[in-house]
């Protein structure tokens, strides 16, 4: 990695970040010490480039299709492979994929990810459209789909990091690709687990094997084979007698089940396999009338619970330092303090899969905000489409978790017009707030 315009390249860690690599190389001071935050912020007035070289094996190169997948780019970046620009990323919260079959070589492939200065980006955006968000953060931050709290908050510093903060990998295919798996449950005397699988195309002769098992078991409870219809969609239904139900912390245990979907070719060879871990439970919201109006209570497996919990904000301003070990410590602390709910606040980021796995195991219901906290937005067509794709990516990634209780659209946005300065003069209420519509995804 290097600062653009500087010939001094340093060894980078991926997943990682600019601040993390500069700290490792001794080229910046700890931003949490005294007023080092000021100097750290100045470093983000520059562009930075990550570069790597790699080889490909014959099996990958012989695939009919090869996808280069980025699970986290923070944030404004151009991606180039072997001199060919693949695309432009502009949302930290999204997954980015590019077809690279015709660009890859056997060896000496050069991949470059060029990150543009986030501080210059928001300054330029604010000059064109001076829409303001919370007073705690820098002007213009509402224009970038990046963790808002990086730009300063009432609880945190202005540490506007950048980089490749989640995995990158290549996927080769010579077959239809599993694009989506949806799992629904119907609870009566028994539990019906309905799994719908969507492939990229319908191919004659290919089958799907779907297995249901208890987490940690050696053998599946049930196995079913199915074929796709003309649209590449298949469905199977498992009926579980005497199901082991998932309960919030202090209300019962947290047994989990595995749904494994495997794509098979004509001779039964496994082509691709995807695993989802689920819990068997119902979770609804009770809004029965009471003496004050209407209650708002989680109802799990027909039992109304008293919610106990707190807000989760990012553990660290350098997101690559948020390890599974740290997550386990804080969530185990929540469990031991008799929490049964954790609210993921909407001014940070969508946590890793490990966060939700741990909540599944510890019985912590997740109240999940979308990342639109405390702001007024300029909802252009491009901005709205970017937000819709962000929602697709994250809902599809997280919807199977037993711990996922609900999705909340935002935090404190509606109240902003009534209580926070001159927002209503700058952006008419109906225009921005009601036009940021998001897709309905089960």
User: How many whole angstroms separate alpha carbon 125 and alpha carbon 131?
Assistant: 9
- Residue 33, judged by CB atoms within 10 A of its CB (0-12, 13-18, 19+), counts as exposed
User: How many whole angstroms separate alpha carbon 115 and alpha carbon 47?
Assistant: 6
User: How many whole angstroms separate alpha carbon 296 and alpha carbon 341?
Assistant: 14
Report the greatest alpha carbon distance in the chain: 72
Q: Where do we find the tokens 């963790």? A: 147
Contact 300, 331 (CB under 8 A): no
Rg of the chain taking only CA atoms, in angstroms: 24
User: How many whole angstroms separate alpha carbon 14 and alpha carbon 162?
Assistant: 12
Alpha helices (H) in 50-136, listed in sequence order: 58-61, 118-128
Is-catalytic flag, 37? no
Residue 396, number of CB atoms within 10 A of its CB: 15
| Nearest by Cα to 210 from 186, 188, 230, 182 | 182
Contact 143, 122 (CB under 8 A): yes
| Nearest by Cα to 347 from 92, 147, 72 | 147
- Residue 23, judged by CB atoms within 10 A of its CB (0-12, 13-18, 19+), counts as middle
User: How many whole angstroms separate alpha carbon 174 and alpha carbon 298?
Assistant: 45
Token code pair at residue 396: 């599809």
Order across the sheet with 341-344: list the strands.
309-312, 341-344, 365-369, 404-408
Q: Which of 332, 412, 414, 426 is catalytic?
A: 412
Contact 99, 66 (CB under 8 A): yes
| Nearest by Cα to 398 from 389, 407, 387 | 407
| Nearest by Cα to 306 from 244, 370, 365 | 365
User: How many whole angstroms separate alpha carbon 143 and alpha carbon 380?
Assistant: 10
Helix 324-336 × helix 353-362 angle, to 10°: 30
User: How many whole angstroms separate alpha carbon 48 and alpha carbon 45?
Assistant: 10
User: How many whole angstroms separate alpha carbon 228 and alpha carbon 38?
Assistant: 57
Residues forming the active site: 412
């Amino acid at each position: 990695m290097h600062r653009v315009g500087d010939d001094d390249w340093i060894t980078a860690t991926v997943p990682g970040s600019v601040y993390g690599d500069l700290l490792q190389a001794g080229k910046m001071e700890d931003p949490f010490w005294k007023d080092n935050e000021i100097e750290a912020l100045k470093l983000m007035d520059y562009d930075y480039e990550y570069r790597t070289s790699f080889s490909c094996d014959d099996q990958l190169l012989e695939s009919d299709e090869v996808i280069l997948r980025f699970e986290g780019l923070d944030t404004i970046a151009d991606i180039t492979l072997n001199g060919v620009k693949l695309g432009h990323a502009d949302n930290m919260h999204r997954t980015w994929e590019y077809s690279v079959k015709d660009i890859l070589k056997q060896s000496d492939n050069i991949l470059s990810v060029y990150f543009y200065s986030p501080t210059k980006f928001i300054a330029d955006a604010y000059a064109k459209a001076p829409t303001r968000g919370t007073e705690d953060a820098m002007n213009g931050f509402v224009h970038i789909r990046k963790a808002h709290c990086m730009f300063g908050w009432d609880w945190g510093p202005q540490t506007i990091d950048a980089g490749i903060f989640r995995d990158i990998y290549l996927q080769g295919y010579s077959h239809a690709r599993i694009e989506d798996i949806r799992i629904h449950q119907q609870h009566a005397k028994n539990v019906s687990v309905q799994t719908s699988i969507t492939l990229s195309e319908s191919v004659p002769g290919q089958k799907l094997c779907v297995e249901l098992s208890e987490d940690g078991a050696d053998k599946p409870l049930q196995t079913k084979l199915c074929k796709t219809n003309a649209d590449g969609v298949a469905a199977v239904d498992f009926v579980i007698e005497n199901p082991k139900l998932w309960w919030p912390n202090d209300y019962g245990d947290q047994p989990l089940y595995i749904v494994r979907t495997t794509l098979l070719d004509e001779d039964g060879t496994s082509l691709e396999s995807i695993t989802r871990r689920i819990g068997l439970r119902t979770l609804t919201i009770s809004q029965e009338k009471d003496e004050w109006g209407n209650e708002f209570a989680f109802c799990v497996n027909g039992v109304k619970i008293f919610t106990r919990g707190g807000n989760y904000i990012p553990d660290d301003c350098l997101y690559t330092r948020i390890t599974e070990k740290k997550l386990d410590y804080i969530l185990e602390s929540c469990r031991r303090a008799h929490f049964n709910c954790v609210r993921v606040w909407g001014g940070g980021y969508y946590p890793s899969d490990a966060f939700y796995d741990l909540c599944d195991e510890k019985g912590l219901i997740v109240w999940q905000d979308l990342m639109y906290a405390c702001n007024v937005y300029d909802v252009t067509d491009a901005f709205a489409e970017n937000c819709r794709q962000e929602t697709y990516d994250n809902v599809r990634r997280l919807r199977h978790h037993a711990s996922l209780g609900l999705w909340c659209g935002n935090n404190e946005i509606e109240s902003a017009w009534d209580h926070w300065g001159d927002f209503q003069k700058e952006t008419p209420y109906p225009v921005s707030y009601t036009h940021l519509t998001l897709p309905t995804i089960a």
